[in-house]
């Protein structure tokens, strides 16, 4: 057996067995439905891009995590790569907007639910192949865009069954202005943001230590923490007023946040909104509002923001843009742990199995299966004539709730015997009523 | 602009804009529904596999068409590849069956609808990223398996709207036995099959020329053609009787085909079945029945067969298996050309757009949008206060059928003005009835 091949999926990737898929499809179905009700339309892009499309868009660290595809044919031996796997859904969108500028509407609202690939070190809950569910609006600087996106995100979480969650909102320029006020110069800001981003996790003292380790003076660090620490319970309006006291009441970025907060009062995001001056979001392409959703005890389920410069890297002129990305894996883990999936998601993929009484009855079994399928039922046929006990055992092993038998007696009477595997009840019904009987036992409307 | 990046998708791949996705989702939805009604359960595997999993499975030509992924980090400079993009859905299935043998049922019926990647030269209708829709049954040698798979395929085509199609059926061992009878030795059979596979396209004379070019004697070629040529209208039973006259009435492979044909009489495959002794199917891993669906004027829409040896390459012991793969791209092209998509697939992704009367009315617009969304409608909000004419023009450019306006007059009366963009009709309704009015105008049931 030593020369047998490994049968595990590659490191950091997963096979999705039927129950995994049903859970994922449930979540994706809810997300897609909410996104569509918010007027976003579907887009998909290829799994790989020309390598130049991706390089230089995700910072130095990101570049290293991109999966690169070897040139083919006679060029293979050069060891060069010309293609690379999709790393996120935002850069491909920026390329698409540039490519189809004459075909897409002037405000392009698209959703995209596809896997992305990053060569991160795999860890619990961190995969090399994972799904992102993105919405983006391209073409407008209006704060209605941010409010609309946050409303869609809040509706999504509510429809999935999350009641308690916080939407953290900040603005890239407010962040920079506060760092200026605290005395952090332009070249120290990146370091300070990395430290501040951990405020939630490591607390005030942890951040102070990080600041010192990065060479930021204790006085500046203390001032930063004073400016950035916003108690969780503080109302958005109160935080904005406090920030106006620091940055001045005419600050345009603060006004932008005020507008977003006011508009969110009119949708389902409002009740969850929290201004958090310490929210930084890693990606360097954000230019305006930045946002993140967090659930107590879980952490971030997704984030986004305004990025008015990225499309310009492909189009040659800037186009305003704002988006949000929900990560699928953590949501599925949490919903599984908390038992948030509806019962039918955990059920079998088969409603009823038809047995084969003996070799001569196989055609009859296939005919019955056809009738049951036309009624909308999901029907399996046992593959061969076999001891009935073995056929029942197989149905039980697949979790199939109902089994149909046409034995010699049933055939003679034009009937089908139907066994409910959950209760053990078995009864005969006229063959023409078999589908209705199964549907009724499953508590389902029959399709015609 | 010379340094602007290319914004095209990589050669042989496509971006899927909203209308493309809606068409694809329609087809995938029908296929998935039929597959599930036939008791197949969903499976998905990672986009890439360890490279050893794929190499050596698809023949020499296949090896060259595999996209290989460069090792990462310190190993990148070696130019070596350790991963490769999925090339089909069958080899990953064989790996999965070996890996999860204790978790999957003893007969494992799975469907898988995912993209695969092949570095073929792109051409009209031939892509480097394309979707396969596979069903496979693992674990049984019974002819019920073949009949069940062919029934599912026939149902799929009928549910998509294809009335006329042929299911070509043959058997690998019948093929080999006929070649023996014709006098083609074991080492000439591969060449002969390549030529015979073109019988449909190049006719008898073309095949004779191919035979001669490959060094097969004229007498042998003539005998081959005599044996393999089956008139399209000939009934399966008649072809099988003729073949029995050549191979003997006890031939086990012929008996297997007889069983499959008899069982298919009990499902929707029967009416389309045709025994075609010249059907070869390229892949070398087939061991039993082989099958293909063909539509007049289009050609093959998919194919499959029994492959009882492939799983053994991973598991160390053979496991019987049979499957069928439907190709998505050609089906979509044909359905588009023939106008086979339902009207709603071609429609807009938005049911109604809410206008913003003036800056102070944005919150009110968002609130109305929320009400309409809760009623299940797909609702866009124009992103800012703007001339009403411009807002209507935008809605028209997106093909949105309905537009809702709350002007000062409407607000004073607690009403919403609703314009049907298709007819130009505009009327006011009480605000609480807006969702119902829109749903009614769209001929849709309101969701609550």
Kindly determine whether residue A105 and residue B397, on different chains, have CB atoms separated by under 8 Å. Answer: yes
Q: How many angstroms away from the CA of B236 is the closest CA of chain A?
A: 17
Q: What is the reported pLDDT for B346?
A: 81
How many residues in chain B?
A: 448
Distance of CA B425 to the CA centre of its chain: 42
Report how far residue B63's alpha carbon sits from residue B54's, in angstroms, rounded to the nearest whole number: 8
Per-10-residue mean pLDDT of chain A, 448 residues long, equals 73 96 96 97 98 89 92 90 97 96 92 97 90 97 97 97 94 92 85 79 84 85 81 86 93 97 96 91 84 89 94 92 95 93 88 95 96 96 95 94 95 96 95 96 75
A142 closest CA partner among A276, A1, A263: A263
Kindly determine whether residue A83 and residue B10, on different chains, have CB atoms separated by under 8 Å. Answer: yes
Q: Which two tokens stand for residue B177?
A: 């036995």
Q: How many angstroms away from the CA of A300 is the closest CA of chain B?
A: 25
What percentage of chain B has pLDDT greater than the value 70?
Answer: 97
State the DSSP H helix or E strand holding residue B327, giving kind and residue range, or none if neither. Answer: strand B321-327
Q: What is the reported pLDDT for A71?
A: 95
Q: What is the reported pLDDT for A91?
A: 95
Q: What is the reported pLDDT for B230?
A: 67
Report how far residue B49's alpha carbon sits from residue B35's, in angstroms, rounded to the nearest whole number: 25
Residue carrying the six token digits 């009416």: B271
Q: Where are the domains of chain B?
A: 18-174+231-241+248-337, 349-441
Question: In which region does residue A382 sit, left (phi positive, over 0), alpha (psi from -120 to 50) or beta (all else)?
Answer: beta
Report how far residue A266's alpha carbon sits from residue A42's, in angstroms, rounded to the nearest whole number: 26
Q: What is the reported pLDDT for A1?
A: 37
Kindly determine whether residue A383 and residue B137, on different chains, have CB atoms separated by under 8 Å. Answer: yes
Given a contact cutoff of 8 angstroms between Cβ atoms, the answer to whether A127 and A155 are in contact is: no
Choose, out of B41, B71, B360, the residue to mutate when testing the contact with A (most A CBs < 10 Å): B41
Angle formed by the axes of helices B362-374 and A143-160, nearest 10°: 30
State the DSSP H helix or E strand holding residue B301, giving kind and residue range, or none if neither. Answer: strand B299-306
CA angle A427, A430, A433 (to 5 degrees): 95
Q: Which residues of A touch B40 (CB under 8 A)?
A: 349
Q: What is the reported pLDDT for A435?
A: 97
**Can you tell me the mean pLDDT for B111-115?**
98
Q: Looking at the domain B18-174+231-241+248-337, which fold is it? A: BirA Bifunctional Protein; domain 2 (3.30.930)
Find the DSSP H helices in B6-80.
Answer: 18-37, 51-54, 59-65
Question: In which region does residue A194 sit, left (phi positive, over 0), alpha (psi from -120 to 50) or beta (all else)?
Answer: alpha
CATH of B349-441, one of 3.50.50.60, 1.10.1030.10, 2.60.40.10, 3.40.50.800: 3.40.50.800
Given a contact cutoff of 8 angstroms between Cβ atoms, the answer to whether A368 and A416 are in contact is: yes
Examine the pLDDT at B191 and tell me if it is beyond 90: no
Partner-chain residue, chosen from A47, A81, A398, that has the shortest CB–CB distance to B115? A47
Q: How many CB atoms lie within 10 A of CB B300?
A: 14
pTM for the whole structure: 0.93
A211 closest CA partner among A221, A197, A225: A221
Kindly determine whether residue A5 and residue B313, on different chains, have CB atoms separated by under 8 Å. Answer: yes
- The separation between the first and the last C-alpha atoms of chain A, rounded to the nearest angstrom, is 52
Q: Which residues of B touch A37 (CB under 8 A)?
A: 373, 376-379
Examine the pLDDT at B421 and tell me if it is beyond 80: yes
Cα-based distances in Å from A364 to A370, B34, B376: 10, 20, 43
> Which DSSP symbol is given to A82?
E
Residue carrying the six token digits 């004539």: A385
CATH of A18-337, one of 1.10.569.10, 3.40.50.2300, 3.30.930.10, 3.90.220.20: 3.30.930.10
Q: Which residues of B touch A366 (CB under 8 A)?
A: 144, 147-148, 151, 263, 266-267
B90 closest CA partner among B275, B323, B270, B290: B323
Q: Which residues of B touch A117 (CB under 8 A)?
A: 47-48
Partner-chain residue, chosen from B148, B316, B398, that has the shortest CB–CB distance to A381? B148
Distance of CA A193 to the CA centre of its chain: 26
Report how far residue B294's alpha carbon sits from residue B301's, in angstroms, rounded to the nearest whole number: 6
Partner-chain residue, chosen from A40, A148, A378, that has the shortest CB–CB distance to B39? A378
Examine the pLDDT at B446 and tell me if it is beyond 70: no
Choose, out of A25, A26, A41, the residue to mutate when testing the contact with B (most B CBs < 10 Å): A41
Instruction: List, in order, residues 6 or more apart from B405 with CB less than 8 Å away.
Output: B355, B357, B388, B416, B417, B418, B419
Least confident of A174-183, B224-233, B412-421: B224-233
Write the ipTM.
0.92
Kindly determine whether residue B106 and residue A17, on different chains, have CB atoms separated by under 8 Å. Answer: no
SS3 of residue A196 by DSSP? helix
A368 closest CA partner among A406, A394, A399: A406
Class of the A348-441 domain? alpha beta
Q: What is the reported pLDDT for A228?
A: 81
Q: What is the reported pLDDT for B201?
A: 78
Partner-chain residue, chosen from A36, A144, A370, that has the shortest CB–CB distance to B267? A370
Q: Which residues of A touch B349 (CB under 8 A)?
A: 36, 39-42
Same fold: A18-337 with A348-441? no
**Strands A108-117, A41-42: pairing kind:** parallel
Q: Which residues of A touch B56 (CB under 8 A)?
A: none
Report how far residue B382's alpha carbon sits from residue B366's, in angstroms, rounded to the nearest whole number: 10
Examine the pLDDT at B2 and tell me if it is beyond 70: no
């Amino acid at each position: 057996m030593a020369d047998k091949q490994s049968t595990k999926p590659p490191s950091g990737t997963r096979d999705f067995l039927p129950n995994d898929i049903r859970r994922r499809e449930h979540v994706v179905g809810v997300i897609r439905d909410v996104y569509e009700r918010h007027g976003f339309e579907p887009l998909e892009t290829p799994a790989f891009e020309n390598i130049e499309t991706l390089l230089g868009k995700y910072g130095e660290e990101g570049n290293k995590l991109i999966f690169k595809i070897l040139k083919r044919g006679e060029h293979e031996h050069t060891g060069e790569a010309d293609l690379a796997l999709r790393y996120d859904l935002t850069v491909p969108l920026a390329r698409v907007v540039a490519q189809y500028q004459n075909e897409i509407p002037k405000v392009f609202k698209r959703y995209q639910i596809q896997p992305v690939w990053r060569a991160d070190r795999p860890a619990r809950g961190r995969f090399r192949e994972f799904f992102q569910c993105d919405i983006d609006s391209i073409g407008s600087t209006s704060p209605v865009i941010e409010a609309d996106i946050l409303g869609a995100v809040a509706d999504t979480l509510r429809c999935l069954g999350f009641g308690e969650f916080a939407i953290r909102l900040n603005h890239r320029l407010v962040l920079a202005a506060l760092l200026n006020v605290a005395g952090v110069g332009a070249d120290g800001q990146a370091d300070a943001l990395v430290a501040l981003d951990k405020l939630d996790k490591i607390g005030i003292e942890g951040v102070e230590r990080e600041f010192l380790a990065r060479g930021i003076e204790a006085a500046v660090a203390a001032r930063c923490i004073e400016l950035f620490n916003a108690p969780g319970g503080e109302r958005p309006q109160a935080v904005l007023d406090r920030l106006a006291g620091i940055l001045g009441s005419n600050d345009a970025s603060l006004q932008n946040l005020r507008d977003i907060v006011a508009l969110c009062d009119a949708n389902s995001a409002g009740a969850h909104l929290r201004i958090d001056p310490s929210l930084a979001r890693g990606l360097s392409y954000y230019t305006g509002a930045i946002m993140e959703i967090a659930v107590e005890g879980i952490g971030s389920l997704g984030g986004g923001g305004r990025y008015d410069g990225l499309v310009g890297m492909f189009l040659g002129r800037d186009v305003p843009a704002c988006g949000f990305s929900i990560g699928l894996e953590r949501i599925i883990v949490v919903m599984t742990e908390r038992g948030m999936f509806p019962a039918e998601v955990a059920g079998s993929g088969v409603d009823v199995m038809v047995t084969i009484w003996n070799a001569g009855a196989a055609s009859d079994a296939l005919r019955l299966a056809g009738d049951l399928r036309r009624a909308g039922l999901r029907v399996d046929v046992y593959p061969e004539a076999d001891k009935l006990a073995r056929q029942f055992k197989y149905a039980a092993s697949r979790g199939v709730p109902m089994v149909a038998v046409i034995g010699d007696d049933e055939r003679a009477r034009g009937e089908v015997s139907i066994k409910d595997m959950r209760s053990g009840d078995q009864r005969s019904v006229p063959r023409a009523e078999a589908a209705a009987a199964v549907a009724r036992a499953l508590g389902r409307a029959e399709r015609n």
